[in-house]
Each structure stands twice: as C-alpha cells, then as structure tokens.
Structure 1
Amino acid sequence: MISRLPLDEQLAALRATLSRNPTLLAVLGRAAGLALPGWYLTAGCLFQTVWNVTTGRPPEQGIKDYDLFYFDAGDLSWEAEDRAVQAGREAFAGIPAEVEIRNEARVHLWYEGKFGTPCPPHLSTEAAIDTFAATTCCLGVRLEPGGRWRVYAPHGLADVFALTLRPNPVLAPREVYETKAARWRGAWPELRVIPWPEATRGETR
C-alpha cells in the first residue's frame, strides 16, 4: 500500500502515477517554458490523477481543469495577471483541457468577495497552497532545470494515496470543504471524507 511506504518511495510513486496522465505532463512541460515566478501545477489535476490511477480509472477522468499558480507581488494589477493568462493561452494551445493561471499574490484582493472570508495576503505560492480547504489537496509540482520534479506537499502524500479527504480549517469556510467533498465523493465514491471539525477558525457563522 503506497500510503504506508517511506516518503522517498511515495515521491517516486507520485511521479510514476502522475506520468500516466499525458495532459498533465504536457502542461508541466509547457508551463516550465513560461518561466512564471514561483509557479506550481497544483490542486485537482494532481490528486485526482492519483485517485483515478489508484482506483483503476482512466488517469484524466473527471479532471475539470489544470490550475497553474505563480507568485508575482511586483505588480498586483489585473492587467499584469492577464498578460500571464494570455501568454499561457498561446503556450497551452492544442492541449485538450483548460489551464487556469492565477497570480497568488493577488488572491487577497478578491477572495472575500467570492467566499465571504477575508484572506491575508499570501507571501508565496507555497503559502497559498497551504490554505486549500483540504490538507489532501495541498500539493504542488513543477519542473526545474534539468527536468527535476519539485514537489511541495506540506501534509505529506499518505492521504492522497489512501483516498482520504481531510479538512484544513485555516482559511476556506466549512461550506467550501463540504461542497467540494460532496462533489468529489460523487465522482470517486471510494473517498473517505473526514468531517469538518466544530468551532474552528475557518468558520464564518
């Protein structure tokens, strides 16, 4: 069982598993060419690929989009972020999936309006990944010079391989976690969903 392997073996298993998704590999390769500061491919495209492979589904099944985060605090304007989005649109042309590019230095400008919870400014892409609604989702991968994979997984990989969804009540409201959990459980009924803890800092009511 991969979730019980030593971490170095889990990392090797992660790369082998993600490499079975050709769209993910194509996005990784082209994203490296964009040279966005502090970039990671992150979120659903990663852990959902693992869930698919682990449960014997096609690697790309149910993956809605591919999230590409970067961090540039030098220019917080939408126009600067849009330039990165447009460059990505050209770079990812022909890839059979939507690639969503977002500057995580700007998240605090719009997060409360969307989710109803204030978001302190992130200090890095890694800090942004730390705030995902589930610890299981806190995962990022990028290609570095020489083809080396850099993996950011602050909560490890055991839950990802064990199909366990664990809440992360540091920023996202409870309803965000529960809505995502219900949707993912519908697509991957094998998921074990751990309930949101009571009276946490992430509560909004």
Structure 2
Amino acid sequence: MVTRLPSDEQPDRLREVLTRNTVLVEVLERAAGLRLPDWYLTAGCVFQTVWNVVTGRPPAEGIKDYDLFYFDGGDLSWEAEDAVIRAGREVFAGLPAEVEIRNEARVHLWYEDRFGVPCAPYDGTEAAIDSFAATTCCVGVRLEPGGRWRVYAPHGLSDVFGLVVRPNPVLAPRAVYEAKTARWRAQWPGLTVLPWPSEAATTLGS
C-alpha cells in the first residue's frame, strides 16, 4: 500500500494508478473529443479507482458511474445541458459504464431543492469540485491537447492513497457526508472515516 508520497510525485502516481482502469481511460479519451468547456472527470470514478488499486481489487470494481463535469455559463437552460447529455450518450455508447454529464454552471438552480441548502453559483468546474462533501473526493482529471493529463487536487492526494475520508463542510450537509461514507465503508471496510465536525468546532474554526 502506497500511503505516503512526496507531493511532487503524487500526480504521476495518480496517473499510473488510474490508467489501470481501462474504462476510465476510455471515458477520458472520448470525453476529450466532446471538446466541452472546462471539463473534468471527477468524483467516485477517480478516488474509488485508487481505493481499488491500493486494496488489491480490480480497478473498476464497484464504481457506479463516471462523473463528467463541464462549465458553460453562456446558456443555463436545461435544453442546452440536455443536448450535451444526449451527445454524450452517443459518444460513450458501448462502454460498460454509465457516464453522468452535468453543467456545473447550472447547479445552483437545483441544488437546494435536492439537498435542502442553497448553493451559490460556481465560477468554474474546479469550484464545483472544491465543494464535494469530503476533501478526499476533491480530485479531477482531464486530457488536454497533446494528450497531457491535467490533475486538479486542491487538498493533495495523501488521503486518497491513505484511505482516509475527511469531511469538507463547505456546502453539502452532514447527512450527505454520512450517507456517502456509510456506503463507501461497506464496500471498502479499510477506510478511515473522520467524523463531521460539531457546530461548536465549526464556529471556533471560522
């Protein structure tokens, strides 16, 4: 198990691990062809691939879907997003995976109805990744022209490789964090799940 890596070696190690998931690599390559603005493949398909490799499992085991985020603030209509989703269905047809495509410029329009708390408009896809319920989940990757990988990991990758799930109480409510971590721990029992901070601790830290 690789749990301690110098920060400058982490992106290369992440790429090496992710390339073991051939489905993820195929999604990345096809996603690049869509030419979406400010896109990333992110969330569970990324950190769960790492968890699988670190724990000696098949790289794609148990990954529910592949989240493809992009940011188009020029058209916030559902019709524009749906057109991209439909185009994606054709691009990703035949893959043994479900690819969920979402325009992160629209999240503030529906987030409160779904999760019970308001969400301020994002200014880009990286801001959306920053707001995941756990800092461990805040990782995104994409292919740039020439095939170069871009890795976005604002909290580093030590927790990801170390199987540590750390709360990120900036947007998602506690119930979302606890529901997700309960599901993850059932599948990866070796995870260390850190508790959601109490209101008192959050107030003191603000």
TM-score, normalised relative to structure 1: 0.96
Q: Supply the distance in 2 between the matched residues of 1:53 and 1:4 (Cα, whole angstroms).
A: 15
Letter in 1 for 2:128: A
1:72-118 deviation digits (Å, cap 9, x = unpaired): 00000000000110110010010100000000000000000000000
1:130-168 deviation digits (Å, cap 9, x = unpaired): 000000000000000111000000000000000000000
Q: In 1, are the aligned partners of 2:21 and 2:60 still within 8 Å (CA)?
A: yes
Q: Supply the distance in 1 between the matched residues of 2:183 and 2:17 (Cα, whole angstroms).
A: 23
Q: In 2, are the aligned partners of 1:135 and 1:165 still within 8 Å (CA)?
A: yes
Q: What are structure 2's unaligned runs of at least 5 residues?
A: none
Q: Supply the distance in 1 between the matched residues of 2:3 and 2:11 (Cα, whole angstroms).
A: 11
1:103 — aligned with what? 103
Q: In 2, are the aligned partners of 1:2 and 1:158 still within 8 Å (CA)?
A: no
1:23 — aligned with what? 23
Q: Supply the distance in 2 between the matched residues of 1:169 and 1:43 (Cα, whole angstroms).
A: 16
Q: Supply the distance in 2 between the matched residues of 1:75 and 1:5 (Cα, whole angstroms).
A: 41
Q: In 1, are the aligned partners of 2:2 and 2:54 still within 8 Å (CA)?
A: no
Letter in 1 for 2:80: A
**1:192 equivalenced with 2:184 (yes/no):** no
Q: In 2, are the aligned partners of 1:135 and 1:155 still within 8 Å (CA)?
A: yes
How many residues are matched? 202
TM-score, normalised relative to structure 2: 0.96
1:183 — aligned with what? 183
**1:141 equivalenced with 2:119 (yes/no):** no
How do 1:82-121 and structure 2 match up within 5 A? 82-121=82-121
Q: In 2, are the aligned partners of 1:3 and 1:10 still within 8 Å (CA)?
A: no
Letter in 2 for 1:11: P
How do 1:1-205 and structure 2 match up within 5 A? 2-199=2-199
CA drift of 1:201 comes to 6.5
Letter in 1 for 2:35: A
**Stretches of 4+ moved more than 4 A in 1?**
none
Q: Supply the distance in 2 between the matched residues of 1:191 and 1:184 (Cα, whole angstroms).
A: 8
Q: Supply the distance in 1 between the matched residues of 2:20 and 2:87 (Cα, whole angstroms).
A: 26
Q: In 2, are the aligned partners of 1:2 and 1:10 still within 8 Å (CA)?
A: no
Letter in 2 for 1:72: D
State the identity as a percent.
Answer: 74
1:23-81 deviation digits (Å, cap 9, x = unpaired): 00000000000000000000000000000000000101110000000000000000000
